[in-house]
Amino acid sequence: MSKIAVVTGASAGVGRATAVLFAQKGFDVALVARGEGGLQAAAKEVEHAGRRAVVLPADVADYEQVESAAAAAEESLGPIDVWVNDAMTTVFAPLGDLDPDDFKRAVEVTFLGQVWGTMAALKRMRPRDRGSIVNVGSALAFIAIPLQAAYCAAKFACRGFFESARAELIHEGSHVRMSMVHLPAVNTPQFDWCETSLPRHPQPVPPIYQPEDVAKFIVEAAHDGRRAKIVGSWNKLLVAAGKVAPGLANQYAARGAWETQLTEEPLSKDRPVNLFDPVDVFNDAGAHGQFDDKAGGFLDPSFLRSLPQTAKTFAAAARATTLEKLERRRR
């Protein structure tokens, strides 16, 4: 009997790479996203791997649409074995420039999309007492950076929701497994179509990884049921430092994570934005964004060349943290 995986955010980026990898591992795949063009292209890739695909257009911020997608997935393919919550959107802007409706929308998709997906999956997996849910997190669920208040808030919330839901399953003695995979910066189309108020084109903070490099950890988590995984050596270091010295993490983010999120390229006036409406309805964006030349992970030469400056930034952040502590004591 075929195994069945549902992947949200499957039309592009990490979701797209994850859906294709599941197919290569022998899963039939239900593809959930808003962009019809991206979904149809993803379905062809799944079918090229010799597996069945079903396209399920849905906005994950709407519970009823997610529930309908889950029902349609089981009707078309069979009982769901794996559910991956990957869909996201974001807004690049200083907090003072954020439109409240934009902030709300980013949180609804990125956070509530995981809540609704988990609820729809559990509704089907709990009675069978089997299945695996993998929620896609981020290093930004541990260390928040400027210009991404909405995304960071949503990912922090995703982590809290995951821990609570997983604890309930343990309390019940359930055999349904929940995992969370926290991603590094990834070269996906989100930077080509996210909302932004900034004059320059956004980019992932180096080191940058390719979608296929991180998709394998999502698929592995679905198989082995690990509780959580932080992907990327650099991110593991930053998360550990943030746990030990959260004030240092704030200072470092303030100094090192503003310019590194921006390219020198001016923002195009006719650039598409997918916050409220999909931009890949007719056109397929694929899994990769425009940063293939930089996506070498921790060993990317450009990232390695930046390490001396990074060390200086850490040193400046450490000095500022010490001064901040001394100032508090004086008060």
Cis ω for the linkage preceding 184 (within 30 of 0): no
| Cβ contacts of 96 within 8 Å, gap of 6 or more | none
Partners of 229 in beta bridges:
181
241, amino acid identity = A
CA distances from residue 174 to 81, 136, 193, 218, 256 in whole angstroms, order as listed: 15, 21, 40, 21, 43
Query: Which residue among 63, 151, 209, 252 is the active-site one?
Result: 151
Q: Half-sphere exposure of 170 toward its Cβ, with a 13 Å CA cutoff?
A: 10
In this structure, are residues 256 and 308 in contact, taking their beta carbons and an 8 Å threshold?
no
For residue 30, the Cα-to-chain-centroid distance in whole angstroms is 19
134, amino acid identity = V
| Interatomic CA distance for residues 275 and 82, integer angstroms | 27
- Which position has the token pair 């669920």? 141
Please give the span between the terminal C-alpha atoms of the chain, in angstroms, as a whole number: 68
Q: What angle do CA 312, 315, 319 make, to 5 degrees?
A: 140
To the query of whether residue 252 is one of the catalytic residues in this protein, the response is no
Q: Cβ atoms within 10 A of the Cβ of 94, count?
A: 12
Partners of 91 in beta bridges:
195
| Interatomic CA distance for residues 137 and 217, integer angstroms | 12
User: Whose CA is closest to 27, among 112, 113, 134?
Assistant: 134
Would you name the residues annotated as active-site residues? Answer: 151
